[in-house]
Chains A and B, each alone.
Chain A
Amino acid sequence: MNNEILTITENRALTDSVYLMRLAGSRGENRPGQFSEFRLEGLFLRRPISVCDDEGGVLSIIYKTVGRGTEQMKFLKEGDTLDALTCLGNGYDLDAAGESPLLIGGGVGVPPLYMLAKELIKKGKKVSVILGFNTRSEIFFEDEFRALGCSVTVTTADGSYGARGFVTDALPETASYFYACGPKPMLAALCEKASFPGEVSLEERMGCGFGACMGCSIMTKGGAKRVCKDGPVFKKEELIW
């Protein structure tokens, strides 16, 4: 964990309610699947947001406005600073990827997969991505994944773009491994349906974000685990749904 004061260099809307923020001053030590906890004005608890990218001293995050904290974030301007705890959580296990890993993201579960895809491609893997959204207007980052060289499938629940249905409807017969992030029902369905091994990133309400308060505990097959410190990424076979 690092405590870093980061300076906003960009903060713009990707859709009606999803924003991309870039912050300078990062030590560049975040791994894919890790998250940061941001202190916001007038709020007691920090807000956890996944790392979307961390390169060249710039930390990128993508957030959806759902409440007081994220609504406040969208009004922050270039030059404003944020106090962040960074490099939190275990991150994805890149060694498990095999040759042709599949990355599956739903909604604001998509962002952490970007840095993961980038790292996997650097390692010479053939990366496929399934991005699931409710409807066409909510789609973001499709082009960014393509630009990395991933093979991309987009699903929309209402069929307004790409394949109609959920990410699980677009699941291929085989892949060497899967990495997923998204809403809990999606992850549960995925773990049930995927015949190949994989891991998923979970969310829980957090008190601290670094393992001290036991606020985020879940029961797994290997006993009680803290989502913030032992996770947020857990192997499929560890989880109890």
Chain B
Amino acid sequence: MVNTEVDLCGVTIDNPVIPASGTFGYGYEFAELYDINILGTFSFKGTTKEPRFGNPTPRIAECTAGMINAVGLQNPGVQMVIEEELPRLKKVFHKPVMANVSGFSVGEYAYVSELIGREEQVGWIEVNVSCPNVHGGGMSFGTDSKAAAEVTRAVKKVTDKPVIVKLSPNVTDIAAIAKACEDAGADGISLINTLLGMRIDLKTKKPVIANVMGGFSGPAVFPVALRMVYQTARAVKIPVVGMGGVSSAEDVLEMMAAGAAAVEVGAANLTDPFACKKIVEDLPRAMAKYGIKDLNELKGVR
């Protein structure tokens, strides 16, 4: 028997596997396919104050071992999420869920976090200061230490739920930004969001993505993500949730060896809807193979 339980900001989860925001909707598409209660938890689609349609299509591009997305935070708005999505989710998911929050101003982050934080189902608030797909919001907060800290402080003020700040890899000094968030009261850090990327269709000589650029993710980004998780875990004392290209139980273990307390899985869910189920089920085997009895042994292996 191996122990897959981990602690995430004071909440024990059965295993460290967490579908990442934007790749798991509000859960029930997957609940039709398997019992999603086998997951540690999952992070739901980035939610904003107002409903958003997002960017024009094409929003998706194929890349070698990955993809670009420029969805642009399409979501029904916090009110609808509370009134419709969460009650629907409650029927199929009985664990605390991670609420992913986005905004275009410090006030909006706080507004959405306050409302969603009051919901009993919500176990953590993941504050996305790193979306590359919207102008004048998202990533601009995550590429500046002061702005990231300001958002963190504002959200911490309005909720008792653990606040995990999700950082952008599109920066030169990730440790400094993570440290600024920790100093501002963040309970955890998650990373990486997508890398800003682009493709051009040679037949039309035009960008594939209507919005020209988008967020690159998938297996190809794993080494970059792992490196940034490692740097961040050494810079802060709060838990770090690692993600970026994870698609196997071995990838989960590697992320945890780099210092992650838990691991999110994004794009892999899109190409294999059973990806997270397979990873959860495969984790004990992979742990045994590498002589790991308890995932907590791994944390912080340097």
How does the 8 Å CB contact mask read for A194-225 relative to B, with 1 for contact and 0 for none? 00000000001111101111111111000010
Which residues on the B side are within 8 Å of A44 (C-beta)?
62-67, 218-219, 267, 271
Shortest Cβ gap from A43 to chain B (Å): 7
Which of chain B's residues have a CB closer than 8 A to the CB of A3? 273-274
Given contacts A214-B45, A216-B57, A229-B29, contact A45 B273 (CB under 8 A): no
Main secondary structure of the interface of A (DSSP, over half): loop
Interface residue from B29, B59, B64 paired with A215 (Cβ < 8 Å)? B59
Which candidate, B17-25, B100-108, B114-122, B292-300, is the interface stretch facing chain A?
A: B17-25
Which chain A positions have C-beta within 8 A of B61? 205
Chain A, Cβ-Cβ closest to B70? A215
Alpha-carbon gap, A68 to B203, bound state (A): 13
Give 1 or 0 for each of B142-171: 1 = CB within 8 Å of chain A CB: 000000000000000000000000000000
Asked if residues A218 and B62 are in contact (CB atoms below 8 Å), the reply is no
**B273:A212 contact, CB within 8 angstroms:** yes
* In contact, B269 and A212 (Cβ under 8 angstroms): yes
Q: Are A214 and B273 in contact (CB under 8 A)?
A: no
Given contacts A1-B33, A208-B269, A214-B74, contact A45 B67 (CB under 8 A): yes
Is A205 a contact of B57 with CB atoms below 8 Å? yes
What B residues does A210 contact at CB under 8 A? 29, 273
Contact status B71-A214, CB under 8 Å: yes
Within 8 A of B (CB), among A220-241: 224, 229
Number of residue pairs spanning A and B whose beta carbons lie under 8 angstroms apart: 88
A45 proximity list for chain B (CB < 8 A)? 60, 62, 67, 270-271
**Are B69 and A215 in contact, with the CB atoms below 8 A?**
yes
Interface core residue of A3, A44, A210 (most chain B CB under 10 Å): A44
- Interface extent on A, as a size class? 20 to 34
User: A180 at the A/B interface (Cβ < 8 Å)?
Assistant: no
The interface size of chain B toward A, counting residues with CB under 8 Å, comes to 33
A229 contact set on B, CB distance < 8 A? 29
Residues of B within 8 A of A43 (CB): 62
The contact of B57 among A39, A85, A211, A217, by CB within 8 Å, is A217
Among B61, B71, B273, the one with the most A-chain Cβ atoms within 10 Å of its Cβ is B273
Tell whether A22 is near chain B: CB-to-CB under 8 Å. Answer: no
Residue in A206, A208, A217 whose beta carbon sits within 8 Å of that of B74 in the complex: A217
Tell whether, in the assembled complex, residue B71 and residue A85 are in contact, meaning their CB atoms are under 8 Å apart: no
The answer to whether A31 has its CB under 8 Å from any CB of chain B is no
Question: CB of A46 within 8 A of chain B?
Answer: yes
Q: Which residues of B contact A85 (CB under 8 A)?
A: 273
Bound-state CA distance A214–B269 (Å) is 13
| Given known A44-B66, A44-B67, A206-B60, contact A212–B33 (CB-CB < 8 A) | no
Interface membership of B136, Cβ < 8 A: no
Q: How far apart are the CA atoms of A214 and B59 in the complex, in Å? A: 9
Judging by beta carbons under 8 Å apart, are B71 and A215 in contact? yes
CB of B87 within 8 Å of the partner chain? no
A contact residues around B269 at 8 Å (CB): 208, 212
Residue in chain B with minimal CB distance to A216: B57
- Please, could you name 16 A-B residue pairs with CB atoms under 8 Å apart, sorted by A? A44-B66, A45-B270, A45-B271, A68-B62, A204-B57, A205-B60, A207-B60, A211-B29, A212-B24, A212-B30, A213-B25, A213-B71, A214-B45, A215-B60, A216-B59, A229-B29
